[in-house]
Amino acid sequence: MVITIIEWVIFGLLCMPVAYLLFFAIASKLPLHKKRNEATEKNILVLFPAYKEDLVIEDSVKSVLNQQYSRSMYEIVVIADKLSQSTVEKLREVGAAVLDVNFENSSKAKALNFAMSQIAGPFDIVVILDADNIVKPDFLRRINNSFSGGIKAVQAHRTAKNMNTDIAVLDAISEEMSNSMLRKGHNVAGLSSALIGSGMAFDYQWFKDNVGSLTSAGEDKELEKLLLKQNIFIEYLPDVDVLDEKIQSGKGFYSQRRRWISAQFYSMIESVRDFPSAVRQRNINYCDKLFQWMMLPRVLLLGIIIVITAASFCTIYIGSIKWCILLFSIITAFFLAIPNYLLNFKLLKAFLKLPVVFFMMALNLLRIKGSRNKFYHTDHKM
């Protein structure tokens, strides 16, 4: 009897995140009507925090220079943390402003804070890109159009630049699933999109006023918290692509996810005390974000359900039916959230790595402490 009660409690707890993911996966299949007319060009500041990114930063800057947007209406600033002098000179030659820094403990939050303390403006919009991001020629024009409707925060569609290893494919799949469920699906349902750290744009004055609050390596979570507490809607632009380099090795994947889980955990701990006031104020977006941060990583959720389903099927046949339904539901949610271009042989091959990824993510849960403020540098293979 006690075992049965415990099983039902566990089942109920796992049902909630699965239902959440399935709902937004289905919502992501619906059209997102956000047609924007061509708007008067605003002054845009493009920031590139770059830590030891000599191999990729020049190409990224050149992609921003190749825009269908008046060159006099935007400025590119690279926060060059431990870049070589030759790279700095090349960046200045092509037309980027470079802020040369040398932080003892580097982080994107420090780079952004320093940049905003040095730049006087005037600007209307600030765009944040990673040093390995590549954008299309219409990127700034479409970002500018989105702000014409009164929007103050935008997340573009970050997608894979490379899928040359099984880990890179899994990383690309994971990001596209988040794009579907946590960004497009949320906007379709009338809720704010999640941020992801780059391909982001904000009202310049809002960002300047709030950037000082960023202190950790999970700056995107901190920005989400600030925006949602202030009832500022985050718009997702599914057709505005930002190519982003994916993690290529298991070690890199482990380190990156460890930092992400830590940032999510501490964001949830710091924000949960705001839940009662968010409910009173009917701040649905903030309540939604708290629930999102309380959820287990998707691969762990899937792994746990698979293990319990297999165990229940071997012991209590009738009791296993509900677990089979739950397993089918989460698999359905995942496949609905994966875009068609990723449904190929590479996906099947990459799925063979899932047991290893499950183990790494489980291990990460035991090593959360101290990871939040550690900056992870993506290794680039040319």
State pTM to two decimals.
Answer: 0.89
pLDDT value at position 103?
Answer: 84
8-state DSSP, 184: I
Does residue 197 lie within any of the structural domains?
yes
Residue 106 lies in a domain: yes
Domain annotation covers residue 64: yes
The answer to whether 178 and 333 have CB atoms below 8 angstroms apart is no
pLDDT of residue 25: 98
Q: Which stretches in the chain have pLDDT values below 50?
A: 382
The pLDDT, as a whole number, for residue 253 is 67
Q: Is residue 9 part of a domain?
A: no
How many Cβ atoms sit within 10 Å of the Cβ of residue 359?
12
β-pair partners for 177: none
Residue 188 is assigned to a structural domain of this protein: no
Instruction: Label residue 256 exposed, middle or buried (CB < 10 Å: 0-12, 13-18, 19+).
Output: middle
Which of 183, 138, 215, 191 lies closest to 372 in space, CA to CA? 215
Is there a domain that residue 330 lies in? no
Say which CATH number the domain at 206 has.
3.90.550.10
- Number of domains forming the structure of the chain: 1
pLDDT reported for residue 207: 96
Q: Which has the closest alpha carbon to 44: 117, 132, 114, 148?
A: 148
Q: What pLDDT is attached to residue 379?
A: 58
Name the pairing type of β-strands 134-135 and 97-101.
unpaired
Tell whether 182 is covered by a domain. no
Q: Report the pLDDT value the prediction gives residue 191, as an integer from 0 to 100.
A: 97
Extract the tokens encoding 95: 């037309």
Domain, as residue range, for 143: 45-156+193-249
What local confidence, expressed as pLDDT, does residue 260 receive? Answer: 67
Alpha helices in the chain (DSSP H): 2-27, 57-65, 85-94, 108-118, 139-147, 166-178, 185-188, 204-210, 219-229, 250-271, 275-280, 284-294, 298-315, 320-337, 345-351, 354-365
